Structure 1
Amino acid sequence: MTSPTDPKTQSKKAWLAPLAYLLSGGALLGLSTNLAKLAGERQLSALAFLFWSIIGAALILITISALRRNLPPITGRTLEYYFVAGFVGVAGSNLIFFSAIPHIGAGFVALTITLPPLLTYIGALILKLERFQVMRAAGVLSALAGAVTLAAHKLSTPDADYLWILLALAGPVLLAIGNLYRTLRWPAGVSGDALAPGMLIAAVVILFGVDLLPGFSLSIPTEQRLPFLLIALQSVVFAGQFLLLFLLQKSGGPVLLSLLGSVGAVVGVPVAIFLQGETAPEGLLLGIVLIGTGIALLNIGKVRQ
């Protein structure tokens, strides 16, 4: 009988927890892109949907923090962390993705979110957050190959909207920066469940500033109840997604975290096809196999490391 302190038991826990965070957080991410498409079809602007959903998620997480007596600390260092992380990981990246969905579809946006692993891995190697390991490098390249396969087919379609496709590809760059920044600047002694609501509150402030620019609005159509239900559902999804993001960041590191998008695509693309009637991207099966292989190689490499 193995004890909790047995090395094999500890090794198993060391990779099972990050894997569980990765799969559940990625599933929520895939669901999020499809909810954004539904919101757009109900005349709810990307900014309004994102703003009110993040407010709801922030309220959920701050309530949990208060009940646990673990409120976000307010210092110069944590304020910097909240606003930078809130911009690159929440407000900026999600506003790009949600704005692009009506033009290029929820399925393709879910696929673009699979692109950060290579950028994150290269950055982690340069900054010495990771040491080079052949198996983990192969995992990142496999996941990236799956994403590139799917993106190449999308770009080759006759009705491809190149402007929005290229703009959507800027979102993964922000996500990769966020993956590295949150690890490098994580405030000492502060838990992830305290940092998550602070980051979301900062994202709300940033998005409110965007609303002050011409052409943007935070208004919600009041003719029907569905937009409010979508915001409520997205709030719950965001709360779970960003809490899991910090748990995965702490336990798995920035490179494993960057695979959230790959899992999100595996969930989000089928939902977009079967429930929202989008056309299945060419090369979908090959892309999913490559992405799944990449996730497996990265996890095996982490255990060996």
Structure 2
Amino acid sequence: MTLSRRRRAVPLASLLGAGAALGISTNLAKLAAEAGVDPLAFLAWSVIGATAVLVGVSAVRHRLPPLNARTTEYFVIAGLVGLAAPNLLSFAAVSHVGAGFVALSIAFPPLFTYIGALLLGMERFQPRRATGVVLALGGAVLLAVLKLSEPDVDAFWVAATLSAPILLAVGNIYRTARWPEGVAPDELAPGMLAASGAILLIVGTIMGTFFGGPAGFSLAVPTDRATPVLLILAQTTTFSFMYLLFFVLQKHGGPVYLSLLGSVGAIVGVPIAVLLLGEAPSQGLAVGGVLIAFGVGLLTLGDPKGKGETAATPTDD
């Protein structure tokens, strides 16, 4: 395989694999809510489990994440805005707005990420890439607007769900702009997951100690049946696979290409919610899915990162 083909194949394969895992993740969150597992507990223990898996893989390969002031800052901020906060919002909302709508919401970051990358000089404006982002975002917006037009929609949880993509876009930009020099993708993934798990445990401990563990913010997991534990194990596996590919995608694709992760997740997650979880199919699902697919296709042509990126973006070595 030539170098140019590899530069396209690696990010595309990572995008499709991690996006599929993301779509599965939102549906596991709904199943967990139906099984009586609080969103914070489900997310926290799944992240901690995935941390253990990735740290184990890194230890075997002798590629544990370096710990210093620079990487600690990176892990904490990336873990907060790129994983802990947006996922907690999404997981808490899934029982109120449905797994399908949550899957759609994670398709929104491309536009925010693209604008941020242009403003920061991470890439140069290109009509093809801009068209791809607009099409992918347009498909997601179409599906979301039609969802909001349905009766008995909980506006608060819709707003909470739609705030998650903004945090994800901030995380996309931050991880590229502040990538620690000389650190490989597989060394960053366990560090970010570990920081996210610590943040979630702190939140759960504070809420339990001072507020009596309000609904949705408890770390307790039901142990009277096997389903909750099995769902956490399934989510742990999903997170492990997704974040193994996540930083490879970030490195080789750049922040805008990475932001399409949610669009792929929507294509996978919405049909699962409809076909396997019995959710009513969103109006315009076929049209929205086609727009998203075309948008992803336009961004996969040529250099995934776009021309004119600054030195702040990690290299492809």
**Does the alignment reach a TM-score above 0.5?**
yes
Partner of 1:106: 99
Please give the alpha-carbon distance, in whole angstroms, between the structure 1 residues aligned to 2:122 and 2:279: 39
Partner of 1:165: 158
Letter in 1 for 2:229: F
Letter in 1 for 2:198: V
Instruction: Provide Cα deviations, 1:122-166, integer angstroms capped at 9, x if missing partner.
Output: 000000001100000000000000011001001111111111001
Partner of 2:314: none
Partner of 2:63: 70
CA contact (8 A) 1:110 1:264 kept: yes
2:32 corresponds, among 25, 33, 39, to 39
Partner of 2:16: 23
CA contact (8 A) 1:135 1:301 kept: no
1:52 corresponds, among 31, 45, 64, to 45
Please give the alpha-carbon distance, in whole angstroms, between the structure 1 residues aligned to 2:90 and 2:160: 9
CA contact (8 A) 1:136 1:302 kept: no
2:193 corresponds, among 171, 176, 200, to 200
3-state SS in 2 of match to 1:279: coil
Please give the alpha-carbon distance, in whole angstroms, between the structure 1 residues aligned to 2:47 and 2:220: 15
Instruction: Provide Cα deviations, 1:204-259, integer angstroms capped at 9, x if missing partner.
Output: 11111211122221001011001111111100100111121100000000000000
Please give the alpha-carbon distance, in whole angstroms, between the structure 2 residues aligned to 1:106 and 1:99: 11
3-state SS in 2 of match to 1:302: coil
Deviation at 1:10, TM superposition (A): 1.5
CA contact (8 A) 1:83 1:199 kept: yes
Deviation at 1:198, TM superposition (A): 0.6
Q: How does 1:223-242 map to 2 (within 5 A)?
A: 223-242=224-243
Partner of 2:147: 154
Partner of 1:133: 126
Deviation at 1:301, TM superposition (A): 4.5
Letter in 2 for 1:224: R
Letter in 1 for 2:269: G
Please give the alpha-carbon distance, in whole angstroms, between the structure 2 residues aligned to 1:61 and 1:203: 13
Partner of 2:310: none
Partner of 2:273: 272
3-state SS in 1 of match to 2:303: helix
Change (3 A) 1:240 1:94: same
CA contact (8 A) 2:7 2:303 kept: no
Please give the alpha-carbon distance, in whole angstroms, between the structure 2 residues aligned to 1:217 and 1:260: 29
Letter in 2 for 1:91: A
Letter in 1 for 2:149: S
Q: How does 1:117-128 map to 2 (within 5 A)?
A: 117-128=110-121
Letter in 1 for 2:278: G
CA contact (8 A) 2:26 2:91 kept: yes
Please give the alpha-carbon distance, in whole angstroms, between the structure 2 residues aligned to 1:297 and 1:190: 30
3-state SS in 2 of match to 1:152: helix
Please give the alpha-carbon distance, in whole angstroms, between the structure 2 residues aligned to 1:254 and 1:191: 16
Letter in 2 for 1:20: A
Partner of 1:299: 300
Please give the alpha-carbon distance, in whole angstroms, between the structure 2 residues aligned to 1:249 and 1:167: 26
CA contact (8 A) 2:8 2:302 kept: no
Please give the alpha-carbon distance, in whole angstroms, between the structure 2 residues aligned to 1:47 and 1:231: 12
> Percent identity at matched positions?
55
Please give the alpha-carbon distance, in whole angstroms, between the structure 1 residues aligned to 2:64 and 2:283: 47
3-state SS in 1 of match to 2:301: helix
Partner of 1:253: 254
2:109 corresponds, among 116, 124, 146, to 116
CA contact (8 A) 1:58 1:200 kept: yes
**More displaced 10-residue stretch of structure 1: 52-61 or 235-244:** 235-244
Letter in 2 for 1:135: R
Count of matched residue pairs: 298
Structure 1 unaligned spans of 5+: none
Please give the alpha-carbon distance, in whole angstroms, between the structure 2 residues aligned to 1:119 and 1:22: 18
Deviation at 1:302, TM superposition (A): 2.6
Letter in 2 for 1:65: S
